[in-house]
Amino acid sequence: MRTWTSPYSGRTFTIHPEGRFAEPPATDHPTIAFHTHHRPLDQGENASTPLTEQEFCRPAVELVLGLRLRDCHRQLAVKRYGVRPLWLTEPAGDSWACALFRDDGLPTLTWQGGPRRLWDEAEAAYRWWTRQGEPPCHRFGLTITPRGRHIWFHKPGNILLTIPLTPLPPGR
């Protein structure tokens, strides 16, 4: 079996021999003890969303976010005092977003800054996933050809993303 690690979340997905992604274990949820993003929230635009941690932090959603939010990394902090921050950062740019998931039943607070609206992109990717019927991971697959790695939805011809193959250095 092959694996694919999402650059978005760091979660490793197993790929079955026929190319379909396997549902990762529920306990396999990469978190960090603290965030490494040091932007003060008051420098961003704030809003709220009805999305909860339980809705947004599912493996299939993480897979979709990793496909739709290119060049974006997620950092999910450890929950403390009933709140868990999720940071989205653009490593090569100045864009960032933070969602503060809360256990108190109130809406999730969000902040974002920089030219790229990362939280808006994340919500758009989540809405795409819900419009598709909230498909589980096994509805997505990976095919590797000489042209690249093709990630598809439902069937191999329905390609969502192509990642070019990186040539090996000479002598390898």
- Predicted pLDDT at 4: 83
Residue-range domain boundaries for the chain: 2-163
pLDDT score at 35: 46
Mapping DSSP to helix (H, G, I), strand (E, B) and coil, where does residue 83 land?
A: strand
Which pLDDT score, from 0 to 100, does residue 107 have? 94
Give the model's pLDDT for residue 114.
92
Residue 11 has a pLDDT of 83
User: Which residue ranges of the chain lie beneath pLDDT 50?
Assistant: 28, 33-35
Query: What pTM was computed for the model?
Result: 0.86
Give the model confidence (pLDDT) of 51-77 as tens digits: 999 999 899 999 999 999 988 999 888
* Eight-state DSSP code of residue 62: H
Distance of alpha carbon 77 from alpha carbon 123, whole angstroms: 19
Q: Which two tokens stand for residue 4?
A: 């694919």
What pLDDT does 171 receive?
A: 63
